């Protein structure tokens, strides 16, 4: 509200974990710069009993009105008031099962159902727990008090300041006052938590459901190190006295950066040596580092509006890798960043249905399936690009300056590049505005005429779309000379074309050295391509460049600019490839071609894949090896499954044995547990289904359950697939249903019945958490729609006329369907 700001909240809560209700009272201390007769607060799904305002020393009841559509509670003051205004609102609310606001999370202890009550407020769900000015820029301080059962414990952002038993039973507790912060970062949780502490200048503590917390040792130790790194790198101390890591079973997202009380899905915090793979271990570190970075980027310095959300997520994404790399350099996490973040971003950003990193709009722009790859993955990749451009030292100084200047306050995009510009002498503002403010990215086409390289740029989209966009591209070119040497030249491409004069003796050139730049490259002259092929085969080019060459080429296949045969022929030069990055990317691309192609080409792609992965597995071994490279372990779990899928007899034989071990109750190595389960489902049938589903329900490990969810997507028989569909809807917990649907959408046997399944259960899917519903659409439409394009298009065009729900995701999924259809036609032609 204009002219009114909230300075302080005092929140009093009495949650009842049996009835799933809570009683609440909030005192809001406001400041009005002009005389006002009404105050509006955000509120949602709360029953408001009473509103009062302090007049003189007396609390007076005041009339109020609640508008559920606007999620607004308006209090009418008894007179025009200015300056300090103190309000009090009494209400009750539900501890809901929506994984939003103040909600309940279910878990089992010795087979018995139990619940904890926790909060998830980002972006706009604090209003479900207490009436407030629910906007990131409306920063205030908070006192939280709770009345809970005597045998329960409570967690909030700050440590407990005072606690006492109540005569009527239960206990009252009060947490220390928070610093100035945004409502979406507040947290409170009540339950039978068990704790593990790591004392230090900042107390770090893990909390989990009974019997689980011993698995948090690994996370606690890494968090201590990550905290030390962050304080040193940012030059700003962590400002709170404690930091809690809370494991929550039912969680819509992966984790949340509540200030001083970060929350996680169980598999992203708890490490179980029997079921946590090395990929899972790495993911724990990455997510922890991500949330830790948010304690500064987001919590200390907050976006002034949701449209600047990238200032949170791009930095957290970047530091999710930067911090892990510091302590586990042998994990090669930057290579995994390129595949996991940059490749995902390039794919998403190549769609016409698109928007810039700084999303126009504001209020209702949220993190969803459409926006996340742009804000997180592209944003993180652009930070890597700008770090490459200004240098690591300037990058670090710029970030530190940004954090110090805006601590406990809010910032906009402009504030970031102002800080970066101030410490470096480069034109950062122009470049950042250019990349943050416009959608998409360029395709740089390059050809050589004599001793001149001619570069041109245009926006890359898979479907034809005229565009006169241009980017300020930090271009790097690695030149390979006849005498065997090489060097990199760097320049800025500011216009649509650029020419570079070469010295004598250049035999080949490779653009976008080490993929620092967020763009794709098309090589127009054959001679250079042939020379590059040789450099790939000899491994003169590094793994990152070997990765980008084939990945850009596959993007051109999807774009319709190159034939799949050209891509497959290019892959022949990777016959002795051993590096993680190119291999994992080839696996993803080949699988995409396999899924999308019609039956005519499938066998050919499968036999190509079976040979390729069979050979790689011969070299790296099918069994996990003692002391092997981290990325080898991650790669094997993927390739083993694909080799079985494509018909490799050796791989199938190995997997059969491994899966029977599981059936017989023996342990298998966690690094191949997922692929063995996937292969077991694929090669098996009803018996495998029964074992997997029984095990799913009995398992105490979310790591194991995630493996089983992936495996459930891999059956071949229609009868079993129907059982899988029913199991997903009836038995898989809400938090994981959409993941299982995603697994089905990767299975060529499950795809043909995906659309009918969606249609007959549409209302159930629509009732999923909004982001999970979007994930279902993003899985079903582009794959399940193949062969049924007209029907699917008409269906959603009609539905979009009636409702805006998931509109962006529907549009981009229909676009992917169109790309797939075109590919299928081209592949079979
Ligand atoms: Zn984040």
pLDDT tens digits, residue range 425-484?
888 898 899 999 999 999 999 999 999 999 999 999 999 999 999 999 999 999 999 999
Looking at residue 591, its pLDDT comes to 98
Q: How confident is the model at residue 363 (pLDDT cuts 50, 70, 90)?
A: low
Rounded CA-CA distance 48/736 in Å is 34
Rounded CA-CA distance 707/267 in Å is 11
Q: How far is the CA of 580 from the centre of ligand 1 (A)?
A: 26
Q: How confident is the model at residue 354 (pLDDT cuts 50, 70, 90)?
A: very high
**Averaged over 743-764, what is the pLDDT?**
97
Q: How confident is the model at residue 346 (pLDDT cuts 50, 70, 90)?
A: very high
Give yes or no for residue 2 having a pLDDT over 80.
no
Give burial (CB, 10 Å; 0-12/13-18/19+) of 18: exposed
Q: How far is the CA of 256 from the centre of ligand 1 (A)?
A: 7
Q: How far is the CA of 379 from the centre of ligand 1 (A)?
A: 12
Helices (H), 328-455: 333-337, 344-349, 372, 379-390, 392-406, 413-423, 428-436
Question: How far from chain centre, in Å, is Cα 41?
Answer: 31
**Chain segment 61-110, per-residue pLDDT in tens:** 999 999 999 999 999 999 999 999 999 999 999 999 999 999 999 999 98
**Chain segment 768-789, per-residue pLDDT in tens:** 999 999 999 999 999 999 999 9
Helices (H), 1-110: none
Q: How far is the CA of 258 from the centre of ligand 1 (A)?
A: 10
Whether 145 is catalytic is no
Residue 378: Cβ within 10 Å count: 29
| Backbone Cα Rg of the chain | 28
Q: How confident is the model at residue 160 (pLDDT cuts 50, 70, 90)?
A: very high
Q: How far is the CA of 285 from the centre of ligand 1 (A)?
A: 14
If we measure between CA atoms, which residue out of 333, 331, 312 comes closest to residue 322?
Answer: 333
Rounded CA-CA distance 31/3 in Å is 8
Question: How far from chain centre, in Å, is Cα 349?
Answer: 15
Q: What pTM value is reported for the model?
A: 0.97
Rounded CA-CA distance 681/679 in Å is 5
Q: How far is the CA of 302 from the centre of ligand 1 (A)?
A: 12
Q: How far is the CA of 680 from the centre of ligand 1 (A)?
A: 35
The structure tokens listed for 483 are 């005498």
Catalytic residue among 122, 281, 282, 291: 291
Average pLDDT, the chain: 96
Helices H / strands E in the chain, number of each: 27, 27
Q: How far is the CA of 321 from the centre of ligand 1 (A)?
A: 13
Q: How far is the CA of 319 from the centre of ligand 1 (A)?
A: 10
Residue that is written with structure tokens 């790495």 in the block: 282
What are the residues whose beta carbons fall under 8 Å from the beta carbon of 633, sequence distance 6 or more? 277, 278, 279, 624, 671
Q: How far is the CA of 394 from the centre of ligand 1 (A)?
A: 24
106: three-class secondary structure by DSSP? strand
Burial profile 713-722: b = 16 or more Cβ within 10 angstroms, e = fewer: bbbeeeebbe
DSSP 751: G
**Chain segment 514-562, per-residue pLDDT in tens:** 999 999 999 999 999 999 999 999 999 999 999 999 999 999 999 999 9
Residue that is written with structure tokens 């900042």 in the block: 202
Side-chain half-sphere CA neighbours of 250 within 13 A = 23
Residue 415: Cβ within 10 Å count: 19
Q: How far is the CA of 328 from the centre of ligand 1 (A)?
A: 21
Order of strands, sheet of 473-481, starting from the edge strand that comes earlier in the sequence: 486-493, 473-481, 506-511
Longest CA span, the chain: 91
If we measure between CA atoms, which residue out of 184, 169, 165, 331 comes closest to residue 253?
Answer: 184
Give yes or no for residue 500 having a pLDDT over 90.
yes
| DSSP characters over 374-398 | IIIIIHHHHHHHHHHHH-HHHHHHH
What are the residues whose beta carbons fall under 8 Å from the beta carbon of 678, sequence distance 6 or more? 641, 644, 710, 711, 713, 714
If we measure between CA atoms, which residue out of 122, 105, 229, 256 comes closest to residue 183?
Answer: 122
Q: How far is the CA of 224 from the centre of ligand 1 (A)?
A: 19
**Chain segment 181-232, per-residue pLDDT in tens:** 999 999 999 999 999 999 999 999 999 999 999 999 999 999 999 999 999 9
Q: How far is the CA of 26 from the centre of ligand 1 (A)?
A: 28
Q: How far is the CA of 587 from the centre of ligand 1 (A)?
A: 28
What are the residues whose beta carbons fall under 8 Å from the beta carbon of 540, sequence distance 6 or more? 480, 486, 534
Give yes or no for residue 829 having a pLDDT over 60.
no
Q: How far is the CA of 810 from the centre of ligand 1 (A)?
A: 24
Q: How confident is the model at residue 364 (pLDDT cuts 50, 70, 90)?
A: low
């Amino acid at each position: 509200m204009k002219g009114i700001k909230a300075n302080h909240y005092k929140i009093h809560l009495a949650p009842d974990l049996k009835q799933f209700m809570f009683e609440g009272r909030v005192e809001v201390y406001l400041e009005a710069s002009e005389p006002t007769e009404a105050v509006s607060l955000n509120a949602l799904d709360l029953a408001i009993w009473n509103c009062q305002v302090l007049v003189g020393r007396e609390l007076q009841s005041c009339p109020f009105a609640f508008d559920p559509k606007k999620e607004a509670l308006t209090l009418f003051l008894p007179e025009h008031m200015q300056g300090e205004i103190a309000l009090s609102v009494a209400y009750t609310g539900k501890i809901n099962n929506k994984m939003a606001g103040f909600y309940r999370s279910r878990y089992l202890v010795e087979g018995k159902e139990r619940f904890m009550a926790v909060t998830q407020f980002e972006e706009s769900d604090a209003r479900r727990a207490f009436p407030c000015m629910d906007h990131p820029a409306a920063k205030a301080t908070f006192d939280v008090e709770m009345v809970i059962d005597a045998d329960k414990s409570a967690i909030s952002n700050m440590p407990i300041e005072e606690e006492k038993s109540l005569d009527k039973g239960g206990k009252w507790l009060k947490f220390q006052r928070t610093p100035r912060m945004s409502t979406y970062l507040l947290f409170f949780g009540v339950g039978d938590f068990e704790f593990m502490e790591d004392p230090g200048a900042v107390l770090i503590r893990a909390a989990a459901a009974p019997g689980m917390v011993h698995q948090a040792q690994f996370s606690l130790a890494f968090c201590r190190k990550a905290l030390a790194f962050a304080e040193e790198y940012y030059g700003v101390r962590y400002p709170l006295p404690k930091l809690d890591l809370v494991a929550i079973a039912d969680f819509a997202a992966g984790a949340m950066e509540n200030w001083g009380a970060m929350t996680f899905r169980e598999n992203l915090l708890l490490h179980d040596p029997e079921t946590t793979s090395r990929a899972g271990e790495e993911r724990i570190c990455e997510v922890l580092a991500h949330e830790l970075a948010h304690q500064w980027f987001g919590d200390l310095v907050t976006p002034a509006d949701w449209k600047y959300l990238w200032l949170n997520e791009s930095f957290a994404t970047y530091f999710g890798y930067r911090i892990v790399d510091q302590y586990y350099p042998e994990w090669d996490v930057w290579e995994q960043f390129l595949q996991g973040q940059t490749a995902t971003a390039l794919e998403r950003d190549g769609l016409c249905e698109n928007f810039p990193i700084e999303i126009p709009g504001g209020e209702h722009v949220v993190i969803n399936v459409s926006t996340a790859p742009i804000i997180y993955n592209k944003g993180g990749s652009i930070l890597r690009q700008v770090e490459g451009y200004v240098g690591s030292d300037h990058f670090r100084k710029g970030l530190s300056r940004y954090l110090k200047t805006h601590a406990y306050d809010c910032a906009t995009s402009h504030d970031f590049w102002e800080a970066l510009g101030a410490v470096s002498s480069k034109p950062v503002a122009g470049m950042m505005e250019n990349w943050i403010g416009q959608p998409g990215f360029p395709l740089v086409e390059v050809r050589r005429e004599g001793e001149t390289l001619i570069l041109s740029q245009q926006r890359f989209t898979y479907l034809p779309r005229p565009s006169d966009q241009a980017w300020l591209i930090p271009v790097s070119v690695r030149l390979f000379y006849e005498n065997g040497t090489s060097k990199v030249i760097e320049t800025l491409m500011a216009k649509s074309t650029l020419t570079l004069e070469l010295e004598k003796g250049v035999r080949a050139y490779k653009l976008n050295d080490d993929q620092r730049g967020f763009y794709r490259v098309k090589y127009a002259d054959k001679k250079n391509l042939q020379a590059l092929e040789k450099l790939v085969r000899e491994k003169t080019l590094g793994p990152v460049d070997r990765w980008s060459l084939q990945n850009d080429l596959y993007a051109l296949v999807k774009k319709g600019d190159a034939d799949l045969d050209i891509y497959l022929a290019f892959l022949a030069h990777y016959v002795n490839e051993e590096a993680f990055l190119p291999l994992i990317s080839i696996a993803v691309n080949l699988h995409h071609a396999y899924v999308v192609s019609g039956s005519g080409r499938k066998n050919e792609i499968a036999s190509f894949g079976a040979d390729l992965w069979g050979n790689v597995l011969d070299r790296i071994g099918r069994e996990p090896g003692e002391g092997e490279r981290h990325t080898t372990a991650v790669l094997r779990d993927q390739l083993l499954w694909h080799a079985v899928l494509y018909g490799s007899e050796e791989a199938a034989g190995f997997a059969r044995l491994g899966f029977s071990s599981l059936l017989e109750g023996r342990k298998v190595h966690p690094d191949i547990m997922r692929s063995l389960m996937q292969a077991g489902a694929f090669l098996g049938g009803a018996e495998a289904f029964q074992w997997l589903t029984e095990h799913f329900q009995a398992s105490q490990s979310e790591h194991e359950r995630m493996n089983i969810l992936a495996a459930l997507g891999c059956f071949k028989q229609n009868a079993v697939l129907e059982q899988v569909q029913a199991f997903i809807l009836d038995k898989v917990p809400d938090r994981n249903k959409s993941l299982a649907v995603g697994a089905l959408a990767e299975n060529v046997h499950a795809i043909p019945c995906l659309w009918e399944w969606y249609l007959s259960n549409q209302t159930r899917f629509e009732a999923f958490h909004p982001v999970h519903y979007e994930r279902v659409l993003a899985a079903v439409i582009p794959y399940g729609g193949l062969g049924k394009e007209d029907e699917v298009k008409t269906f959603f065009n009609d539905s979009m006329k009636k409702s805006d729900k998931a509109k962006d995701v529907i549009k981009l999924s229909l676009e992917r369907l169109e790309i797939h259809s075109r590919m299928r036609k081209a592949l079979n032609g």
